[in-house]
Amino acid sequence: MSHVPEDVNGDLYWSAAELLKAFESKKSTLVKTYGTWVIDTRDVNFKWMWVLIQGHSRGAEKVGKATTFRLTRRGDIYLVGTTGEPLKDARGKWVHVGKDGLVCNRFRTTDVTSYRQKVFKVMRDLVRDQASEFREKASATGMGCDMHVGHSEDTPFGALIVEFMFAKGWPLPCLVEDLVIERVSPESGDYKLASDTFAKLWQEYHREHAKLFMQPARDNLSDNYNNKRTLWQLEGKLADTDTAPPQKKAKAKT
């Protein structure tokens, strides 16, 4: 399967090697021109690099409230906020971005698990407001570390997605990774369902069929494997008598 080219500030790149070469070249030019000083935002290499950073594979989670970036003496890129100070993570360390998140992860199209995880995140984000509403009604707001919003054992979250696909006419077997997602925008690292109509139908289906309840965080996490087994069985990847996870299958290249 050929990869859709990555668009960075109007330039198209068809492979990780091609994009990486451009990344290293433009970063080297910025290092030679500015060193550790503030970079001129009108610089064409700055503009190209900033668009690339906005499309980081971890999206808003990584870029956060950054408004620009600076370089260390070694040429490492770190993010800077509105105050002009470096952004810091939970450990108090400067937030850096590197070639894996900026370049390599964009072209890892054969990793079914990675794509599958992105689909799950998109589907969860679409019903996050419903979970928040339920938490508020259960008087559990602000207790996220201790109490999680869970889905019933007979229809865990993943299974609900598959049942939704089947209900909307998806042919069997319904696989979570068959759902089509796309970047929110060329510059974004966040994803959405390719069909806005399908997204609305999923929100309606979840509101009608999801059986939510509050449970201790430890119990919610310990249920994870059993929930996966239920999903694998629905997808036809696991027989009722199987005890081991299904083998991962690489997508065939065409």
Confirm whether 52 is domain-assigned.
yes
Confirm whether 248 is domain-assigned.
no
Question: What local confidence, expressed as pLDDT, does residue 39 receive?
Answer: 94
Confirm whether 239 is domain-assigned.
no
Question: What local confidence, expressed as pLDDT, does residue 221 receive?
Answer: 60
Question: What local confidence, expressed as pLDDT, does residue 249 receive?
Answer: 44
Question: What is the amino acid identity at position 77?
Answer: I
Question: What local confidence, expressed as pLDDT, does residue 91 receive?
Answer: 75
Residues 63 and 146 in one domain: no
Question: What local confidence, expressed as pLDDT, does residue 112 receive?
Answer: 42
Confirm whether 252 is domain-assigned.
no
Confirm whether 240 is domain-assigned.
no
Question: What local confidence, expressed as pLDDT, does residue 57 receive?
Answer: 64
Instruction: Say whether pLDDT at 101 is over 70.
Output: yes
Confirm whether 98 is domain-assigned.
yes
Residues 120 and 200 in one domain: yes
Residues 184 and 214 in one domain: yes
CA distance 186 to 168: 29
Instruction: Say whether pLDDT at 110 is over 50.
Output: no
Give the count of beta carbons closer than 10 Å to the beta carbon of residue 66: 21
Question: What local confidence, expressed as pLDDT, does residue 237 receive?
Answer: 60
CA distance 51 to 58: 14
Are residues 231 and 162 in contact, defined by beta-carbon separation less than 8 angstroms?
A: yes
Question: What local confidence, expressed as pLDDT, does residue 251 receive?
Answer: 42
- Total domains in the chain come to 2
Confirm whether 15 is domain-assigned.
yes
- Residue after which a domain boundary falls, among 106, 124, 156: 106
pLDDT tens per residue across span 190-237: 788 989 999 999 999 999 999 998 988 777 665 565 666 667 676 666
The listed range with the strongest mean pLDDT (64-73, 128-137, 150-159, 196-205) is: 196-205
Residues 117 and 96 in one domain: no
Residues 115 and 217 in one domain: yes
Residues 117 and 218 in one domain: yes
- Residue after which a domain boundary falls, among 84, 106, 128: 106
What SS3 class is residue 81?
coil
Residues 73 and 97 in one domain: yes
Residues 154 and 88 in one domain: no
Beta-carbon-side half-sphere exposure of residue 232 (alpha carbons within 13 Å): 18
Average pLDDT, integer, range 9-38: 90
Confirm whether 44 is domain-assigned.
yes
Buried b / exposed e along 109-134 (16+ C-beta atoms within 10 A): eeeeeebbebbbebbeebbeeebeee
Residues 202 and 218 in one domain: yes
- Residue after which a domain boundary falls, among 87, 106, 125: 106
Residues 100 and 183 in one domain: no
Residues 98 and 202 in one domain: no
Residue 100 maps to which CATH number?
Answer: 3.10.450.40
Phi-psi region of 169 (alpha: psi -120 to 50; beta: other; left: phi over 0): left
Residues for the chain: how many in total? Answer: 254
pLDDT tens per residue across span 234-251: 666 655 544 444 444 444
Residues 209 and 226 in one domain: yes
- Within the chain, residue ranges assigned H as helices are 16-34, 44-54, 59-63, 99-102, 112-126, 128-137, 157-167, 196-209, 217-222, 224-234
Name the residue range of residue 80's domain.
6-106
